[in-house]
Amino acid sequence: MNARAPGRPRILSRARIVASARHIADNEGLEALTVRRVAQELGTGQASLYRHIADRNELLTLLADDVAVHLPPPKDGPDPRERVIGQWLNAYDYLSQHLWAARIIAEGEHAADSAAAFTRSAVDALAALARVGSGEGGPDQAGIARTYRVLWHLLLGHLLNAHPVGHAHPVHDIAVEREGAGPAKAAETFRDDFAWALPRVLEGLLGTHAS
């Protein structure tokens, strides 16, 4: 929007810049996201943007933080197993809508301290599940942290392979191919795989059993 357009001119803010950048990344992938492109979207000049952000890197950091802050809490309810499984499935679905963010996190370019609330709540929910499932003989704090990391990597691996970002070619997965399914089915298959694996992996890692 241009300030000279009819109506009240909107004030440029970091929040508006981040919202516009997220829209571009969600719809066109990270490659399309440049400061010039965001300026176009907002109907302003690049110089105006540089009064709010230092460079593209700062923009990416702000974006990744914005996604990380909104990672989901454990699912509501009394059952600790359902709380854990629901949180991770929701995280999968949420990140599959913002894959460029998953890729930023995996590439380790930008800190995501903003994910701390997710980490804390996920670790607490895992600890509650471990107490119910295996009592005193369950994993200690280090084992819970390790379980958290393994689940996070399981999620990342499924997401990053299932949904290549910013590339025109469909994913080619050797095992999906082997089953005879076309590449277009990959994302759907991997979501199913993750949902199938999650309770089984939890049982293996925590030494608990399904109730």
Give the residues lining the site for a copy of itself (CB under 8 A): 105-113, 115-116, 118-119, 123, 142, 145-146, 148-150, 152-158, 160-161, 164-165, 167, 169-176, 178-179, 183, 189-190, 193-194, 196-197, 200-205, 207
Residue 108 dihedral angles phi and psi, to the nearest 5°: 65, 20
Which of 11/174 has CB closer to a copy of itself? 174
Which of 48/114 has CB closer to a copy of itself? 114
Which of 94/152 has CB closer to a copy of itself? 152
- In single-letter form, the type of residue at position 95 comes to L
| Shortest Cβ 48–a copy of itself spacing (Å) | 28
Tell me the torsion sign for CA atoms 149, 155, 161, 166.
negative
Which of 57/97 has CB closer to a copy of itself? 57
Task: Give whole-number Cα distances, 69 to 94, 116, 172, in Å.
Answer: 12, 8, 32
CA distance linking residue 186 with residue 38, whole number of Å: 32
Which of 14/149 has CB closer to a copy of itself? 149
Tokens standing for residue 170: 């469909």
| Shortest Cβ 206–a copy of itself spacing (Å) | 9
DSSP secondary structure letters along 82-112: HHHHHHHHHHHHHHHTSHHHHHHHHHT-S--
| Shortest Cβ 16–a copy of itself spacing (Å) | 27
| Shortest Cβ 173–a copy of itself spacing (Å) | 7
CA distance linking residue 33 with residue 57, whole number of Å: 11
Terminal Cα distance for the chain, rounded: 56
| Shortest Cβ 163–a copy of itself spacing (Å) | 9
Tokens standing for residue 4: 């000279």
Which of 35/156 has CB closer to a copy of itself? 156
| Shortest Cβ 27–a copy of itself spacing (Å) | 19
